[in-house]
Structure 1
């Protein structure tokens, strides 16, 4: 049995796992109707399931690998909230059975895979920039993507080949941070640090 948390905390973790990206707290509330209170947030952070941090004035959340593992166990072994109606309780029982089936066959990751990575990159790009054609640092984009670096690089290259995405080196190399160097993608023997997407 996984350790239990409040329903809102459990919901936040599962939503973050499904989205596969960093989610601002305001979006968690407005878009997903999940209010993650300070006590619940602190408990999840202290237990290593969640990483909450400030980006400017915004509080953002990212699920950890440990958090994903906890979600898998909770969905397959966790108890349903006590105040559920009969239909919701039966749905929870079906979910647990399906989850066990997926876990036993190693299919869980494929079943809950986040939205298409290219769509996710485009969404994060627009969230971080000032609209299409704005140059955004890869160092800001990469941390928002819950995907392996190789998979992200391959997707970026496919986007460039499609013609509406551009990757360039920073014109002023002196202002680059360690994060910029680490996030760069090497193309044609040159590190690219910035990305822009044209409006289709």
Structure 2
């Protein structure tokens, strides 16, 4: 397995969701295309599907099993940089934890929904502290179940610099706004403003 392929597999595992090449690049500084993509697809470790103009990659069950087995493997002689050696030390430590706790990798790695919301907010606002409708965020993150979105928004609302507010002019609210609102303190909230993404 090449370092690039290993990086993709571990990133898909850690993110626990489908990722486009743009997502992979933003999260781990790597993309999956050409020969490496075909190889991982043919090995049955990753499923890749064209959605619009983007390739979307997802770790298969076989891919998750491969990652679990990788935790127990010794560091390859040609691991390369210090980072690669350190990575294998971390993987070995994770393997020890799973062995003693009886947990599975799927218990450890869950989607970072709050992180996805903040990344999408930053993409929409280009990093400025502008107000964004929750309906727009939900529409741009269709893979996130509504309950997970609401839970993540409630956690984000507790952070310094994150404001989840009600729309003052209720006449401007659409059906989409009502459906996408989250309730905090008994009040439906429709807008997100982040002073600084953290």
Q: Same fold (TM over 0.5)?
A: yes
- Aligned residue number for residue 165 of structure 1: 164
Partner SS, residue 164 of structure 1: strand
- TM-superposed CA distance for 1:164, in Å, is 1.0
For 2:86 and 2:115, how far apart are their aligned partners in 1? 30
- TM-superposed CA distance for 1:154, in Å, is 1.8
- TM-superposed CA distance for 1:34, in Å, is 2.4
2:153 aligns with one of 145, 151, 156: 156
- Aligned residue number for residue 75 of structure 1: 70
Partner SS, residue 192 of structure 2: strand
- Aligned residue number for residue 124 of structure 1: 120
- TM-superposed CA distance for 1:49, in Å, is 2.9
Q: Which residues in structure 2 correspond to 1:59-98 (within 5 Å)? A: 59=54, 61-64=56-59, 66=61, 69-70=64-65, 72-78=67-73, 80=75, 83-84=78-79, 91=86, 94-95=89-90, 97-98=92-93
Task: Kindly indicate whether structure 1 or structure 2 has the higher relative contact order, using CA contacts under 8 Å at least 6 residues apart.
Answer: 1
- Aligned residue number for residue 102 of structure 1: 97
Instruction: List per-residue Cα deviations over 1:152-172 (Å, max 9, x = no partner).
Output: 322223445777124779845
- TM-superposed CA distance for 1:72, in Å, is 3.6
- TM-superposed CA distance for 1:68, in Å, is 6.6
For 1:128 and 1:24, how far apart are their aligned partners in 2? 18
Cα–Cα, structure 1 residues 97 and 40, in superposed 2: closer, same or farther, change >3 Å?
Answer: same
| RMSD over aligned Cα atoms | 4.7
1:36 aligns with one of 20, 32, 39: 32
| Residue 132 of structure 2 corresponds to residue 134 of structure 1 | yes
Partner SS, residue 155 of structure 1: helix
- TM-superposed CA distance for 1:138, in Å, is 0.4
- TM-superposed CA distance for 1:63, in Å, is 3.5
Provide the TM-score with structure 2 as the length reference. 0.58
Provide the TM-score with structure 1 as the length reference. 0.57
For 1:159 and 1:92, how far apart are their aligned partners in 2? 30
For 1:52 and 1:128, how far apart are their aligned partners in 2? 25
5+ residue gaps, structure 1: none
